[in-house]
Structure 1
Amino acid sequence: MNNFDEQPRRVINADVGLNKFLTKMYGWMAVAVLLSAVAALYVTTTPSLMSLFTGSYRIVPIIVWFVFPFLVSGQAMKRPAVSFVLLMVYALLTGGILSMYALVYTGTTIASAFVSSSTIFIAMAVYGVATKRDLSRIGAQATSALIALIVAFLINIWLKSSLIAFVFSIIGVVIFTALTASDSQKMKRFYLQSDGGATTSTGLAIIGAMQLYLDFVNLFILLLQIFGGMGDRD
């Protein structure tokens, strides 16, 4: 067989595999977002469930919420099916936690934050996948900035400054906007460097869906805080 005929075929196969991978990753991420929205709506209309997230034991689901991403990522390459189930459970748990914001912000503000975060996420995800510019340095800088911001947020718990919190929310949006683009490119690069096997592809898709889901959720929360301001609280 002519080598010149073989090369285009390899490129086409790689493109098809990449497209399937990206469809799977973003599809699962979208399903997780949908589950969170449904769970949040259900919890807000079910007082017995709402009490789990607003009562004296609300710290328990919050701790579980922080631990779960490590479980999802840890099982992704070993047991993709288990990891996928954990991701969906995590999405439901996140929905329950997000339901608490319905007690603080109006439906208009929540809807505006969701539409805005979706728009930013889609734009940055497309950019991250399509651009030929290496975003790894930007991703590393954004991660470092995120760590510093988390520390600053913790300090502000004692300062209780609404102005500082507002400024931090704006900075956070910039950080997660950058992370959305860099994480999208990173997962594309991981797939292209992998063996392309079904198990590997599925595991990477779950890890990517988890990471991008977190980027989206944090974008949503930060924009909700910005749009809410001081005058939108009940």
Structure 2
Amino acid sequence: MSETGYRDISAERSISTFISRVFVYMAGGLTITAGLAYWFGTTPELISLLIKEQGGLNMLGWIVMFAPLGLVFLMAGRVNKMSPTALTSTFVAYSAIMGISLSFIFLAYTQSTIFTTFLITAGTFGCMAILGYTTKTDLSKMGSILYMALFGIIIAMLVNFFMKSEMMDYIISLLGVAIFTGLTAYDMQKLKNMSHQVDADSADGAKMAIMGALNMYLNFVNLFLFLLRFFGGSRD
């Protein structure tokens, strides 16, 4: 085999290794999140640690709700200074706290609804990830539009927090599903393009795989939550 042939095989292996690591990290994070969400959500003694006796979140509950956002900013802001081990540990901590914060869905929805929605999310996510990986169409313009739409939907959610409009909530949920479905394909294509430029076995490659896993994890969780809001039947 020629030197070029060996080089091509080595490049393909590096790409495969990088993408595999992204999804191993992501799957690990989701497993931690799902396990802790179920444990806290179905154990009254644990969920009560986050709620006041008269209702509403206590101080620990608010910390749990906002801590994941802080960890995301920490990972994004210090990715170049953190070691792969430190970044992985932060991602694990983030996944764990996210699991605790998501435990509240077990108070609002039935377990069958949550499980069914999770399966639908997994199927949708998988299809869009495959589409993003295999398509020859450049999705970069779509990504810019989706991120602008995401910014708009965050503003709409803040407004509806005070308006409490069921129709607006329905529209927001529908748009949220569309946005994160599209972002899954966009981020998958971005990861594929990135894999051509990094050495999967290097420290930088490991850190980029973790950050890629974080992006895909966020797409999955947000798609799940918007789907749950869209057609999930509450306990009421």
Report the TM-score, using the length of structure 2 for normalisation: 0.91
What do residues 2-45 of structure 1 show as CA deviations (whole Å, max 9, x unaligned)? xx922222211111100011110011101111111110111124
Unaligned segments of structure 1, at least 5 residues: none
Alignment equivalent of 2:36, drawn from 35, 39, 50: 39
Amino acid paired to 1:32: G
Deviates more, 1:121-130 or 1:215-224: 121-130
Tell me how large the CA RMSD over aligned residues is.
1.6
Percent identical residues:
35
The verdict on how the C-alpha distance between 1:196 and 1:107 changes in structure 2, with shifts beyond 3 A counting, is closer
| 3-state DSSP of counterpart to 1:233 | coil
The one-letter amino acid of 2:188's match is S
User: 1:88-143 CA deviation, whole Å, 9 max, x = no partner?
Assistant: 11111111111101000011110111011111111111111122211111111100
> Counterpart of 1:233?
235
1:113 alignment partner in structure 2? 117
Counterpart check, 1:125 vs 2:129: yes
Which residue is equivalent to 2:20? 23
- Distance in 2 of aligned mates of 1:28 and 1:74: 20
Query: Match of 2:64?
Result: 61
Matching of residue 217 in structure 1 with residue 214 in structure 2:
no
**What amino acid is aligned across from residue 35 of structure 1 in structure 2?**
I
2:133 maps to a residue whose letter is: V
User: Is the alpha carbon distance of 1:45 and 1:228 closer, same or farther for their aligned partners in structure 2, counting shifts above 3 Å?
Assistant: closer
Displacement, 1:224?
Answer: 0.7
Amino acid at match of 2:105: Y
Could you list the runs of 5+ residues in structure 2 that have no partner in the other structure? Answer: 52-56
CA distance in 2, matches of 1:14, 1:127: 22
Assess if the C-alpha contact under 8 Å between 1:128 and 1:183 holds in 2: yes
**Comparing 69-78 and 105-114, the one that deviates more:** 69-78
- Which residues of 2 match residues 26-105 of structure 1 at below 5 A? 26-54=23-51, 55-57=57-59, 58-77=61-80, 78-105=82-109
- Tell me the secondary structure at the aligned position of residue 235 of structure 2: coil
Instruction: Give the residue type in structure 2 aligned to 1:37.
Output: A
8 Å contact from structure 1 (residues 113, 220) kept in 2: yes
Secondary structure of the residue that 1:193 maps to in structure 2? Answer: coil
User: 2 CA distance for matches of 1:48 and 1:107?
Assistant: 18
In structure 1, how many angstroms separate the alpha carbons of the residues matched to 2:134 and 2:182? 15
**Aligned partners of 2:17 and 2:200 also within 8 Å:** no
For the 8 Å contact 1:75–1:82, the answer to whether it is kept is no
**In structure 1, the residue corresponding to 2:2 is in which secondary structure?**
helix
Whole-Å separation in 2 of the counterparts to 1:109 and 1:99: 14
Could you tell me which amino acid in structure 2 is paired with residue 217 of structure 1? V
- 2:84 and 2:50 map into 1 onto residues whose CA distance is 29
2: CA distance between counterparts of 1:123 and 1:154? 31
Partner of 1:170: 174
TM norm structure 1: 0.92
Q: State the 1:197 CA deviation.
A: 4.9
Partner of 2:10: 13
SS in 1 for 2:192: helix
Q: 1:233: how far off?
A: 3.0
Residue 61 of structure 1 aligns with an amino acid whose one-letter code is V
Instruction: State the match for 1:161 in structure 2.
Output: 165
